Chains A and B, each alone.
Chain A
Amino acid sequence: MTLLRPLLVLLTVLALWQLGVWLSGVPHFLLPSPARVGGVLLDRWPELLANAWVTGVEIVLGLLLGTLLGCLSALSLALLPPLRRWLLPLLVVSQAIPVFALAPLLVLWFGYGLGPKIAMATLIIYFPVTAAFYDGLRRTETGWLDLAQTMGGSRLSVLLRVRLPAALPALTSGLRVAAATAPIGAVVGEWVGAGAGLGRMMLDANGRMQTDVMFAALFVLALLALTLYALVDRGCRAAVPWAQERN
């Protein structure tokens, strides 16, 4: 049932879409019918797959790098409270600048390869990961901290043995947001300048009025993002099995 319901919704939407295109006679370069998009998917799947691979690598590397940086930032913020006054404003500012505005600069610096896309994805997920994890680190159950204090734990050992594991459920919610937004960073990076990738393919198709190819690329991108999200969600559940028990 859990899989059947979204599938049913999807089929209904597709049917309505197909019907709308037939009845209204919209030209296919404005709105291609689902059947046409399906045709593109079948005809050009090797090209779509190759581009999906490039975009996927960008997203995954961005996710890893952004998560690593985010976790390190959150941990140093938690360990050195004075650092907060310096780093927190910087964090907020970094989030206030739209990634779109930075994209041309990043391309200028890192070129047309993987670099700027990974940087973009990293930038976009760095903040949610840092914010969620840091928040979790600050909200340790006070009873646990009291207990750890009477046991004679040092700041570092309490951080590593109590506060960090206690913050993992919070980190996983940050990671879920990150997994959902990382594709944005990669695709924006490709729009500004790239040799390959689903974003690049969409841009090319757009230039040639091949709207059906755009839709096909978009479909593959959505599939990629959903798969990634499901994997991260699964991984988080497996790594932090106690997170669900505590609500």
Chain B
Amino acid sequence: MYDSPYPAAGGSAPPVAVEAARLVYDGLPLFDGLQLELPPGEITALLGPSGVGKSSLLRLLAGLEAAAEGRVHDGAGGPLTGRVAYMAQQDLLLPWLDLVGNVVLGDRLRGRRPDRPRAEALLAEVGLGDRLRDRPAALSGGMRQRVALARTLFENRPVVLMDEPFGALDAITRHELQALAAEKLAGRTVLLVTHDPLEALRLAQSVLVMAGRPAQVEPPIRPAGPVPRDPGDPLVLQGQAELLVRLGRARSAA
């Protein structure tokens, strides 16, 4: 019926670069002259103390932060418009649509005929194949975030921006969803904003720490091994400890 709901985006996923990003909030620069580069086809995690401007930076990349300035491009100077999918901490499911309706929302908004078979296949892949006609209110928080992941995958964009997508979930659900997301997002250029060092080390090929005021992004850490990594791996645990120390320093510097 359907070959693959998401043709390999690997070859086509571009790098993402931000230059001279600047955001002034309440007269104080949150960041100014900030540079960021995301390697193509990899998951990059962005950590940092609360309020440092991680989400604002992500929103700048998504074209949602009207107050921020900066040049966002695909490494070759082209714009990212139409190549970005966005996933937030809230599932942002529309309560009046069933799960399939929520997943095909993008098609409907673009005035295209909704590709329901593909939406149903994606929902089945995130483990909700038997709940297609349910309304979001009937689901648990973890299930709702699975639907949000299916909706993000349905967009089939080479760049995916995720703002603490698992932040509101309990530990077990988070663990399951992280593995699922890492599998499904492989090959895309992903920015994952998170406050959880373990999540960053499990999922990301490179880990960035954003700190200071105005904030800067420190040089990337590139943990060894393929993702998703085992949270019991001594290297991951050691990395987590080091990241915690760095984040603690970052917060006291802010």
Q: Answer whether A242 and B95 are a contact pair too, CB < 8 Å, given A143-B90, A149-B63, A149-B64.
A: yes
Q: B6-14, B105-113, B184-192: which lies at the A interface?
A: B105-113
* Residues from 93 to 144 in A contacting B, C-beta threshold 8 Å: 141, 143-144
* Residues from 62 to 88 in B contacting A, C-beta threshold 8 Å: 62-64, 82, 84-86, 88
Interchain CB contact under 8 A, A165 and B88: no
* Residues from 147 to 194 in A contacting B, C-beta threshold 8 Å: 147-154, 157-158, 161-162, 165-166, 168
Query: What residues on B are CB-neighbors of A154 within 8 Å?
Result: 109, 111
Q: Which range holds the interface residue count of chain B?
A: 20 to 34
| Residue from B82, B88, B135 within 8 A of A152 (CB atoms) | B82
Interchain CB contact under 8 A, A150 and B86: yes
| B62, B92, B135, B155 — most chain A CB neighbours (10 Å) | B92
Q: Answer whether A151 and B110 are a contact pair too, CB < 8 Å, given A144-B92, A144-B94, A242-B137.
A: yes
Please report the C-alpha to C-alpha distance between residue A86 and residue B95 in the assembled complex, in whole angstroms.
34
In the complex formed, the residue of B with least CB distance to A156 is B111
Residue-wise interface mask of B (12-49) relative to A, using a CB-CB cutoff of 8 A (1 in contact, 0 not): 00000000000000000000000000000000000000
Query: What residues on B are CB-neighbors of A240 within 8 Å?
Result: 96
Q: Is the interface of A mostly helix, strand, loop or mixed?
A: helix
Query: What residues on A are CB-neighbors of B92 within 8 Å?
Result: 141, 143-144, 147
Number of A-B contacts (CB under 8 A): 61
Interchain CB contact under 8 A, B110 and A153: yes
Interchain CB contact under 8 A, B64 and A161: no
Interchain CB contact under 8 A, B111 and A150: no
Residue-wise interface mask of A (60-96) relative to B, using a CB-CB cutoff of 8 A (1 in contact, 0 not): 0000000000000000000000000000000000000
Query: What residues on B are CB-neighbors of A162 within 8 Å?
Result: 94, 109
Interchain CB contact under 8 A, B86 and A146: yes
Interchain CB contact under 8 A, A152 and B64: no
Please report the C-alpha to C-alpha distance between residue A158 and residue B106 in the assembled complex, in whole angstroms.
10
Interchain CB contact under 8 A, A242 and B96: yes
Query: What residues on A are CB-neighbors of B137 within 8 Å?
Result: 242, 245
Q: Answer whether A150 and B85 are a contact pair too, CB < 8 Å, given A144-B92, A165-B96.
A: yes
Query: What residues on A are CB-neighbors of B94 within 8 Å?
Result: 144, 162, 165-166
| Residue from A157, A242, A245, A246 within 8 A of B108 (CB atoms) | A157
Interchain CB contact under 8 A, B62 and A146: yes
| Residue from B63, B105, B135 within 8 A of A161 (CB atoms) | B105
Interchain CB contact under 8 A, B88 and A146: yes
Query: What residues on B are CB-neighbors of A152 within 8 Å?
Result: 82, 106, 109-110
Interchain CB contact under 8 A, B109 and A161: yes
Please report the C-alpha to C-alpha distance between residue A150 and residue B61 in the assembled complex, in whole angstroms.
11
Q: How distant is A196 from chain B, measured CB to nearest CB, in Å?
A: 42
| A152, A157, A158, A245 — most chain B CB neighbours (10 Å) | A152
In the complex formed, the residue of A with least CB distance to B105 is A151
Q: How distant is B158 from chain A, measured CB to nearest CB, in Å?
A: 13
Q: Answer whether A151 and B95 are a contact pair too, CB < 8 Å, given A143-B88, A146-B86, A157-B111.
A: no
Interchain CB contact under 8 A, A157 and B84: no
| Residue from A147, A242, A246 within 8 A of B135 (CB atoms) | A242
Query: What residues on B are CB-neighbors of A246 within 8 Å?
Result: 95
| Residue from A146, A157, A166, A168 within 8 A of B109 (CB atoms) | A157
Please report the C-alpha to C-alpha distance between residue A150 and residue B85 in the assembled complex, in whole angstroms.
6
Please report the C-alpha to C-alpha distance between residue A38 and residue B110 in the assembled complex, in whole angstroms.
62
Please report the C-alpha to C-alpha distance between residue A143 and residue B90 in the assembled complex, in whole angstroms.
8
In the complex formed, the residue of A with least CB distance to B90 is A143
Interchain CB contact under 8 A, B88 and A147: yes
Interchain CB contact under 8 A, B95 and A245: yes
Q: Answer whether A151 and B155 are a contact pair too, CB < 8 Å, given A161-B105, A162-B94, A165-B96.
A: yes
Q: Answer whether A146 and B110 are a contact pair too, CB < 8 Å, given A151-B105, A161-B105, A245-B137.
A: no
Known: A146-B62, A165-B94. 9 other contacts (CB 8 A): A147-B92, A147-B105, A150-B86, A151-B105, A151-B109, A151-B155, A153-B109, A165-B96, A168-B96
Enumerate the 4 nearest inter-chain pairs by beta-carbon distance, A residue then B residue, closest first. A153-B109, A242-B95, A151-B106, A150-B86
A-B contacts, 21 listed (Cβ < 8 Å)? A141-B92, A143-B88, A143-B90, A143-B92, A144-B92, A144-B94, A146-B86, A146-B88, A149-B63, A150-B62, A152-B110, A153-B109, A154-B109, A157-B111, A161-B109, A162-B109, A165-B94, A242-B96, A242-B137, A245-B137, A246-B95
Interface residues in chain B, defined as those with a beta carbon under 8 Å from any beta carbon in chain A: 59, 62-64, 82, 84-86, 88, 90, 92, 94-96, 105-106, 108-111, 135, 137, 155
